[in-house]
Amino acid sequence: MIAGYGESNRLLPNISYNLAACCVFLSHPLTGSFLILSLGVKLLTMRSIPTFKRVELLTIPLLSTVLATLFWPYFPVVSTIFGSGTFAEIGFAGNWQMFYQKAAWRILPALFGLPFLVYLLFKRQFTYVSVGLVATASIYFFNYAVLHNLTLARYVIFIAFFCQIGIIQSLKHIERHTLHKYAVAGYLIIILSSRLLNSCHLPSALVL
């Protein structure tokens, strides 16, 4: 869905993507918010697209999701999202702070992709993955400083996701280099030994 959004000049495929994004958001706000964010990042990093079309495709999914959220007849979406702290108080969900406790240590294997993504940013290669990492990390840290929202605290999962893609891209980048096989072997050792590291895995409450 993310790969196909904005690629067609026809209106109907793009409308169908927007409807799908709305359905995902209303079914699971965390995944839906990430999907809408990803569509926006994808459009911003596309080079061969007119400015008017870029603005149009950026605006439509946001407006359609907001309207669908406000007029969704089955449950109050907005109050449910911002009331996620209440679920934590009654023991229905984890506290937002647990998603920041030793977070870097718990997603350590994925963070080995971070240097390559930082390298892309310094080289001004603003790809979907590098910009997506900046966007999700910004939301994650802003939530820690200001919002303290349980749903947004789970964005640590998407940070790990982009970093894992960064690992794959970094290995692809050096595949013709003599160090490639050693890099692959080294990362496999890290993955296999991660279970031996204390508190390396995310706690069960992080499972969606």
pLDDT tens over the chain, length 208 residues: 787 887 777 777 777 887 888 888 888 888 988 988 998 899 899 888 888 888 888 887 777 777 777 777 777 777 766 665 555 555 555 688 989 998 998 898 899 999 999 999 999 999 999 999 999 999 999 999 998 888 899 999 999 999 999 999 999 988 888 888 888 888 888 777 766 664 444 444 444 4
**Would you tell me how many other CB atoms lie within 10 Å of the CB of residue 93?**
16
Q: Flag whether the pTM goes above 0.85.
A: no
Delimit the domains of the chain by residue range. Answer: 11-80, 83-206
- Per-residue b or e along 95-110, where b marks 16 or more CB atoms closer than 10 Å to that residue's CB: bbebbbeebeebbbbb
169 by Cβ neighbours in 10 Å (0-12 / 13-18 / 19+) ranks as middle
Cβ 136 vs Cβ 155: under 8 Å: yes
